[in-house]
Structure 1
Amino acid sequence: MSTAVPHAPRSEISVRRPEAERMGFFTDTTVCIGCKACEVACKQWNDLPADGSTFRKGGSYDHTGELGAATWRHVRFVEQLEPSPLSVSEAHDLDLVAMASERAPAEVDVAAAVADMSRWIFMSDVCKHCTNAGCMDACPTGALVRTEFETVIVQQDVCNGCGYCVPSCPFGVIDRDHQDGRAAKCTLCYDRLQDGLEPACAKACPTDSIQFGPYDELLDVAERRVATLHDRGRTDAYLYGAGDAPGEEVAGGLGAFFLLTDPPERYGLPAQADSPIQENVVTATAAAVAAGLAAATGVAVAFGAAKRGWTGARPGGLLTLAAAAAGAVEVVRDLREGGRRRDRAHGHAAVPRAQGRADQGETRSEGHPR
């Protein structure tokens, strides 16, 4: 299977080298063991502060909780909980004290405990380095730039801490540092890439759950991995953020994509995502044109009234301008209604796949999805 590699517009690439090619991450969640070696390696290499190692309520071993300005890698812990076989009426009649007193102490069944690990899902989350990067679109100072490897980095000396990039990221990746207010996120170890080195997180991963390399090679590896899992009976395996049909890409195609076996929402990922600015650029442009025509109409009316009086103004020209402005407003309404219809169509189309996986059981996330 061969899939076209998505590329950002050449005009977006701030650093250019003829020999450079798009680099990225492929994360296979089926072999992630939740060891957090990637988190430690990322913090150590980038000199990021620790998260405190505080056991918080419902947090299990997930100290970090979410991606942030000082946490550029986050291993998400998700526990799959099967529905209880007891009905609601039976649950109300349970005598928990009697059950506890009747239970005899027993040794831990190691084999059962290991088998029980299949209820857990681990995923190492990171910046997606989107082809359509919402953070770049929103940045007013040019602090966020695209490198020769088509990754997105923050220039700390240019960032003014406005925070516009934070709500513009559909994945909740980038954040402002609580001390100096400037934005920060994963750089895909740009300093290491410049020296031909592998990013620290991928280097530290003991199971090769995180794989790094040229994007086209990673995509080929990922597609073959999905095919292998399907042959083994894991037909629920699929790629998130890569290999999508044209026009259906997540944020134009992700530079860091994933192999998942459950709906993306269970991993704290959105089913559909794009840069808010690029998503609304057509309607916003049409609205600007309509506003301009309306303003021109008002100016023409005022000018005509002042020069000739209302009785002497030429109604034909004014009516033409008014009709043009009204037409532009209708175009905006049609575009917005078309967008709503497309959103509803996408929503209905996505239900069968997500619903099929959701039937496997309810979930509880140990982190705090952003």
Structure 2
Amino acid sequence: MITAFLTDSTLCIGCKACEVACKEWNQVPSDGYHFTGFSYDNTVALGHSTWRHVKFVERTAGVAAPIDGTAGYRSNTFRWDFSSDVCKHCSNAGCLEACPTGSIVRTEFGGVYVQPDICNGCGYCVVSCPFGVIDRRPEDGRAFKCTFCYDRQKAGLAPACAAACPTQSIQFGEIGELRAKAAARIAQLRERGIDDASIYDPQHTSVGGTHAIFVLRGRPEDYNLPSNPEVPTVHLRDGWSSAAVAAGLMLLGTAAAFFMQRE
């Protein structure tokens, strides 16, 4: 079965249970408890030691009338938007294409898995990820990211983050079923007047769709998600194709000049 995550940001309460469950199950190093200045967030972004990251988005809209007796203004509305980010396990994964050692493979569940014992720390995968997910640990330079809980899936279990989520903001299942659920959820939200809800699953770019689908409010960029992600190796292939055509034309020209000179 080809599986995926569906992360519904409208159900996320920002508890970070997914982050904790991921670290506990996978024995991922801690991120520390320093204040980053990015809202109430000590992890900032996905990386070598952060395989799940809950994004805190503070939203204000409009300005109310002046407060009586003062010259100040107060915010008219305020709300939190939360979303738990993760590796997208792209259908066309730039990291997998760029890996020269075969360390990165596609599993039978559709996920993209890094075999740390084969990784040589070259870093080609890091610069090839359009989402900035995969990262190298400073201790030995090897690359790490979400494993899609491959060990748990082989045992018939859901990934640790999905199992720990108390609101079902993170759902796990067959990818087609989850895409249908996402569409139904958007229809439900719009019936309730939430017109800025949308599905994030870039199927029409070079990533070819993902195995981490999101229901979001607002722009993808608000959640550090590029609106039009592209795999860098696509342009590399185009460059090699152009170079091959140019080389072929040069050879034909050289051969033609040689035979013309002989005549």
TM-score by length of 1: 0.64
Shift of 1:279: 4.6
For residues 54 and 212 of structure 2, the distance between their equivalents in structure 1, rounded to whole angstroms, comes to 15
Residues 126 and 256, structure 1, Cα contact 8 Å, conserved in 2:
yes
SS in structure 2 at match of 1:30: coil
Name the amino acid aligned to 2:165.
Answer: C
Q: Residue 188 of structure 1: which of 132, 135, 148 is its match?
A: 148
SS in structure 2 at match of 1:166: helix
Equivalences for 1:1-370 in 2 at 5 Å?
Answer: 21-56=1-36, 58-82=37-61, 118-241=78-201, 248-249=204-205, 251-295=207-251, 297-298=253-254, 304=258, 313-314=261-262
For residues 76 and 250 of structure 1, the distance between their equivalents in structure 2, rounded to whole angstroms, comes to 25
Structure 1 runs (4+) greater than 4 angstroms displaced:
83-86, 298-301
Aligned length: 258
Residues 68 and 173, structure 1, Cα contact 8 Å, conserved in 2:
yes
For residues 80 and 288 of structure 1, the distance between their equivalents in structure 2, rounded to whole angstroms, comes to 51
Question: Structure 1 or 2: larger helix share?
Answer: 1
Residues 226 and 239, structure 1, Cα contact 8 Å, conserved in 2:
yes
For residues 120 and 250 of structure 2, the distance between their equivalents in structure 1, rounded to whole angstroms, comes to 36
1:294-318 CA-partner distances (Å, limit 9, x unpaired): 25545775xx4xxx9xxx8158xxx
Name the amino acid aligned to 1:35.
Answer: C
1:77-105 CA-partner distances (Å, limit 9, x unpaired): 1112336579xxxxxxxxxxx969x9xxx
Question: Structure 1 or 2: larger strand share?
Answer: 2
SS in structure 1 at match of 2:59: strand
Unaligned runs of 5+ in 1: 1-20, 87-97, 103-114, 316-370
RMSD: 2.6
Identity of aligned residues (%): 54
For residues 162 and 43 of structure 1, the distance between their equivalents in structure 2, rounded to whole angstroms, comes to 25
Matched with 1:341 is: none
For residues 221 and 62 of structure 2, the distance between their equivalents in structure 1, rounded to whole angstroms, comes to 19
SS in structure 1 at match of 2:127: helix
TM-score by length of 2: 0.89
Residues 39 and 58, structure 2, Cα contact 8 Å, conserved in 1:
no
For residues 279 and 241 of structure 1, the distance between their equivalents in structure 2, rounded to whole angstroms, comes to 21
Name the amino acid aligned to 1:271.
Answer: S
Shift of 1:218: 1.1
Residues 132 and 274, structure 1, Cα contact 8 Å, conserved in 2:
no
For residues 32 and 239 of structure 1, the distance between their equivalents in structure 2, rounded to whole angstroms, comes to 15
CA, structure 1 residues 99+216, in 2 after alignment: closer, same or farther (shift >3 Å)? Answer: same
SS in structure 2 at match of 1:288: helix
Larger radius of gyration: 1
For residues 81 and 291 of structure 1, the distance between their equivalents in structure 2, rounded to whole angstroms, comes to 57
For residues 220 and 98 of structure 2, the distance between their equivalents in structure 1, rounded to whole angstroms, comes to 25
Shift of 1:284: 3.1
Unaligned runs of 5+ in 2: none
For residues 250 and 262 of structure 1, the distance between their equivalents in structure 2, rounded to whole angstroms, comes to 23
Shift of 1:249: 4.5
Residues 39 and 57, structure 2, Cα contact 8 Å, conserved in 1:
no
Name the amino acid aligned to 1:258.
Answer: F
For residues 280 and 140 of structure 1, the distance between their equivalents in structure 2, rounded to whole angstroms, comes to 15
